Amino acid sequence: MASPTIQDVAEKAGVSIATVSRVYNSPNSVKEATRDKVLRAAEALNYAPKLAARALTLQKTDIIGVILPGLGGEFFSELIRSIDQVAYQHGFHIMLSTSHSHRNEVDLLLRLMGQGWVDGLILMVPVLGRLSMPPLPRIDLPIVLLNLPETNGQYIHINVDNYRGAYLITKHLLDHGYNPIAMIRGPDGNHDAETREKGFGAAMTERGLNPEGGDNRYLERGDFTRRSGYLAMLRLLSLPVPPRAVFAANDEMAIGAFFAARQHGLRIPEQIAIAGFDDIDVASCISPTLTTVHVPITELGMMAAQKLIEVIKSTKENGAMPQKILLSTGLVIRESCGCSPTGAALQA
């Protein structure tokens, strides 16, 4: 037997479907006796309103879509957790998708967005930053873009200060006097990766190092996974003059680099210093603890959900209320850079 509909309940309770509907939507507008009758019938039939039908009529789903570049690792885990937390508070559910790297992301976006499955969308697709402008099909759905370069301003942008974070940590490494300093950057065409590299480059150039068009052997490329960091570090270590310090564009790669260095019998930070980016949980679990750039992941997720829901709930009239938010990053000096365990830096 197919799942019961409002019809079935109405019949069984001997009322009209409208009444049944009311029992669920404005219980007070129906006489108690009737309500009981309906509820009993519903109970007996094991009835629950079909959300699909409801959505069709109401033109909303109370679901917010979240599209991320991936799901693995602590970064996304925490991001999802924080989004879910505030979504839940506001009665929203989460529909999760990843852009799965391959396959045209925009296609995926369309599938979800245009289609009225979700009331709004949180999007983190760093590769969109590259050439896919206009990246998003014009669609009238509230959208929050995470870590994407500003578009023509019809969305809400929330960014993390990648540039400054990378700049600062590179300076810190420079202040230690390390040379050469290598960077393991993220994938090509990834906006985060590119911004972080720019910060690195700026700090280096400021010191007259690594000038434009200069030596690129100390610039390795990974894909933000631990394994890629491991591999990149291996390549770095096979250089005629291995780097004295390495800045990895995220903690996962930094940890990969950690293992590679250790496997080569190198002591960290005595023989090679390592710094990361993100400040995920493990960063403080490994030893030596990882010096990194703190990214307010939780805040990012909560803010994204908050802003999105705000827009969703605001009367549809005042269309998109674009805004740009920049979350600041900050240095987390720990041991892997060569600072003492107590956190005292050997400033230049």
List 44, 56, 133, 346, residue binding a copy of itself (CB under 8 A): 56
Q: Which residues pair with 98 in a beta bridge?
A: 68
In which element (H, E) is residue 302 found?
Answer: helix 297-313
- Residue 238 engages DNA in binding (rule: CB under 7 A): no
- Residue 117 engages DNA in binding (rule: CB under 7 A): no
- Residue 134 engages a copy of itself in binding (rule: CB under 8 A): no
CA–CA dist 155, 108 (Å, integer): 18
- Residue 53 engages a copy of itself in binding (rule: CB under 8 A): yes
Applying CB under 7 A, what is the total number of residues that bind DNA? Answer: 29
Closer residue to a copy of itself, CB minimum distance, 84 or 192: 84
Task: Supply the minimum distance, in Å, between the C-beta of residue 135 and DNA.
Answer: 23
* Distance spanning both ends of the chain, measured CA to CA: 77
In which element (H, E) is residue 66 found?
Answer: strand 63-68
CA–CA dist 279, 257 (Å, integer): 15
In 3-state terms, the chain is what percent helix, strand and coil (to 5)? 40, 15, 45
Closer residue to a copy of itself, CB minimum distance, 20 or 166: 20
Task: Supply the minimum distance, in Å, between the C-beta of residue 48 and DNA.
Answer: 7
Task: Supply the minimum distance, in Å, between the C-beta of residue 107 and DNA.
Answer: 17
- Residue 88 engages a copy of itself in binding (rule: CB under 8 A): yes
CA–CA dist 234, 241 (Å, integer): 13
User: Token digits for 289?
Assistant: 């603890």
Long-range contacts from 3-8, C-beta under 8 angstroms, 24+ separation? 3/47, 3/48, 3/50, 4/45, 4/46, 4/47, 5/47, 5/50, 6/47, 6/49, 8/45, 8/47
List 16, 287, 314, 328, residue binding a copy of itself (CB under 8 A): 287
Q: Which residues pair with 246 in a beta bridge?
A: 182, 274
- Residue 25 engages DNA in binding (rule: CB under 7 A): yes
Q: Where on the phi/psi map is residue 148: left (φ > 0), alpha (ψ -120 to 50), or beta?
A: beta
**Pick from DNA, a copy of itself, none: which does 29 bind, CB < 5 to 8 A by kind?**
DNA
List 12, 19, 308, 337, residue binding DNA (CB under 7 A): 19
Closer residue to a copy of itself, CB minimum distance, 116 or 177: 116
CA–CA dist 164, 56 (Å, integer): 46
- Residue 59 engages DNA in binding (rule: CB under 7 A): yes
CA–CA dist 109, 82 (Å, integer): 22
List 19, 21, 61, 170, residue binding a copy of itself (CB under 8 A): 61
- Residue 150 engages a copy of itself in binding (rule: CB under 8 A): no
Q: Which residues lie near DNA (CB under 7 A)?
A: 2, 5-7, 14-19, 21-22, 24-25, 29-31, 33-35, 47, 49-50, 53-54, 56-59
Q: Which residues lie near a copy of itself (CB under 8 A)?
A: 1-3, 46-56, 61, 63, 70-74, 76-78, 80-81, 84, 88, 93-98, 100, 110-117, 137-140, 255, 281-282, 285-287
